[in-house]
């Protein structure tokens, strides 16, 4: 690197994109109740505002990493910043839900192209004796941005509108682009023999999209159509895996899965990410539309969970260096299972303090899980496999998050609507067809339960009680699924090595 290179500007640019990437996964969830109410959309549509981002991120993480090997980290990073900037502008000015979903998909691509490269680029511009400092700053930015996301979201929703959660990205994207464009040198050590696996990328992208689309529409499709979509998606994914097992151009080297600790870490982190995505998707809707909290109160509630990531993650990183990654991962999965057990038994009239306790405890588990699983991936693989392994790690994280949103939305729709139809029939409630549609949105959490007061019926209070009970039937199933997967991750963590693998 040239002596004139301003490493601190590059670190700031990388920090901006790391912060935006983490904000985009938390702040939008706080705004989701406001978006669903303003745009009058149901859970099946609302989930794509979250899932479009997760799905495109999952597909393009590995693709972005591979493209950076061919064309250079700088140009792929800058493309990612431009995509993130343009999609944020479109999302911030639109009042059309289809445009919002499309912009979120593009934003996810920008996120995938910038996040992992930001960490690598920020680290490489520092001399070796300062790289620990640079990494520590990035980890702190990650934790801090995740911590303040819910609070910022609540603040903007309270005084502005949900559009500003996207428009606030604009100055940070401009700073990141300007500093990287002006300060980061063009990559000169590109692998000229590296060619991109376009066929594998297409098979992977199409397969994952169709499979997750089938899961996302399971509540509205006929069973035969859903099974067809899942089968076609699975066929494409199987074709992708078959191609990766053969000689020639590859997107992923499957041999890395033979490393025991790497594969077990993927299980632990994927199951953890499933639960994390469920909480970020379901809890804000629950807080604002069922408990009738304000966006600010909801943001502060989620802040009680995310703040521990900012406080404890850097400290956990030092702890993992000393005792290894097994114990922190196991403890994080155990705490996660405990929290979902409490969420499963949460009463209809739960106290705000009890909910804060659950989310605060889950935040502690997250602060243990994030740095320890990342350390496990890096230290369990050979040096030549780390870049590939990291790409796979992030890809599966966001596949798991996308699955979480799809499955939980399907569970909420199916269970809540099943119990709702039985309740309406049992109590002989005379409800008009338009009000039934609104009630359908209420019991899945996408519309405020207070809308029942506008039904102009004599038994509104009774209907509110029924709606809450109906909602919690679906809520409990969602939390039970997360509990089972968290227990699976706990079992996987028990089989990890007790100490970190030393690199000779």
Average pLDDT over the chain reads 77
- The Cβ of residue 426 has, within 10 Å, a number of other Cβ atoms equal to 9
Q: Which residues contact 177 (CB under 8 A, 6 or more apart)?
A: 13, 78, 81, 82, 85
pLDDT digits (tens, 9 = 90+) for 334-377: 999 999 999 888 766 666 788 888 888 998 898 888 878 877 87
Q: Hey, what are 391's tokens?
A: 């790409």
Closest alpha carbon to 197 in 154, 141, 269, 246: 246
* Cβ pair 80, 46 in contact under 8 A: no
pLDDT confidence band for 305 (50 / 70 / 90):
confident
Rounded to two decimals, the pTM is: 0.77
Please tell me the predicted confidence (pLDDT) of residue 498. 58
Q: Hey, what are 482's tokens?
A: 């997360």
Distances in Å between the Cα of 23 and the Cα atoms of 19, 150, 496 are 6, 8, 31
pLDDT confidence band for 161 (50 / 70 / 90):
confident
Strands (E), 291-367: none
Please tell me the predicted confidence (pLDDT) of residue 135. 62
Closest alpha carbon to 146 in 305, 290, 286, 324: 305
Q: Please provide the CATH number assigned to the domain covering 267-504.
A: 1.20.1250.20
Thinking of the domain 1-186, which architecture would CATH place it in?
A: Up-down Bundle (1.20)
Mean of pLDDT values over 91-102: 88
Residue 116's Cβ-side half-sphere holds a number of Cα atoms within 13 Å equal to 29
């Amino acid at each position: 690197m040239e002596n004139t290179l301003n490493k601190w500007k590059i670190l700031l640019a990388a920090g901006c994109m790391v912060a935006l990437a983490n904000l985009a996964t938390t702040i939008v969830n706080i705004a989701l109740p406001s978006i669903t109410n303003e745009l009058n959309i149901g859970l099946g549509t609302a989930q794509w505002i979250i899932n479009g981002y997760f799905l495109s991120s999952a597909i393009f993480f590995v693709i972005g990493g591979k493209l950076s090997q061919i064309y250079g980290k700088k140009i792929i990073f800058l493309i990612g910043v431009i995509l993130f900037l343009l999609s944020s502008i479109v999302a911030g000015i639109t009042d059309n839900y289809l445009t919002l979903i499309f912009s979120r998909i593009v934003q996810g691509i920008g996120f995938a192209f910038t996040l992992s490269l930001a960490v690598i680029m920020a680290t490489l511009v520092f001399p070796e004796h300062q790289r620990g400092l640079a990494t520590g700053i990035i980890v702190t930015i990650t934790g801090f941005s995740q911590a303040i996301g819910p609070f910022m979201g609540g603040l903007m929703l309270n005084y502005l509108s949900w559009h500003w959660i996207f428009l606030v990205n604009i100055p940070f994207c401009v700073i990141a682009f300007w500093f990287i464009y002006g300060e980061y040198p063009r990559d000169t050590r590109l692998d000229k023999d590296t060619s991109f696996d376009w066929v594998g990328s297409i098979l992977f992208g199409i397969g994952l999209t169709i499979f997750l689309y089938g899961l996302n529409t399971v509540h509205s499709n006929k069973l035969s159509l859903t099974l067809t979509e899942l089968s076609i998606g699975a066929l494409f994914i199987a074709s992708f895996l078959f191609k990766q097992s053969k000689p020639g151009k590859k997107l992923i080297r499957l041999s890395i899965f033979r490393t025991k600790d790497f594969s077990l870490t993927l299980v632990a982190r994927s199951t953890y990410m499933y639960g994390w995505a469920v909480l970020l998707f379901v809890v804000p809707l629950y807080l604002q539309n069922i408990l009738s909290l304000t966006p600010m109160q909801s943001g502060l509630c989620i802040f009680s969970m995310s703040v521990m990531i900012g406080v404890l993650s850097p400290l956990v990183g030092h702890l993992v260096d000393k005792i290894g990654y097994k114990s922190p991962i196991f403890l994080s999965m155990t705490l996660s299972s405990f929290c979902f057990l409490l969420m499963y038994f949460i009463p209809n009239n739960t106290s705000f303090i009890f909910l804060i306790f659950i989310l605060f405890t889950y935040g502690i588990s997250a602060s243990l899980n994030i740095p320890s699983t990342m350390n496990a991936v890096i230290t369990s693989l050979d040096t030549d496999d780390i870049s590939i392994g990291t790409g796979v790690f992030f890809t599966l994280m966001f596949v798991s998050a996308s699955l979480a949103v799809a499955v939980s939305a399907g569970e909420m729709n199916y269970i809540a609507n099943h119990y709702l139809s039985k309740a309406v029939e049992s109590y002989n409630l005379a409800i008009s067809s338009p009000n039934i549609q609104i009630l359908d949105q209420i019991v899945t959490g996408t519309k405020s339960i207070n809308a029942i007061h506008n039904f102009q019926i004599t038994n509104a209070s009774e209907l509110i009680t029924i709606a809450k009970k109906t909602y919690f039937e679906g809520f409990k199933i969602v939390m039970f699924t997360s509990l089972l997967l968290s227990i699976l991750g706990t079992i996987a963590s028990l089989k990890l090595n007790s100490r970190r693998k030393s690199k000779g």
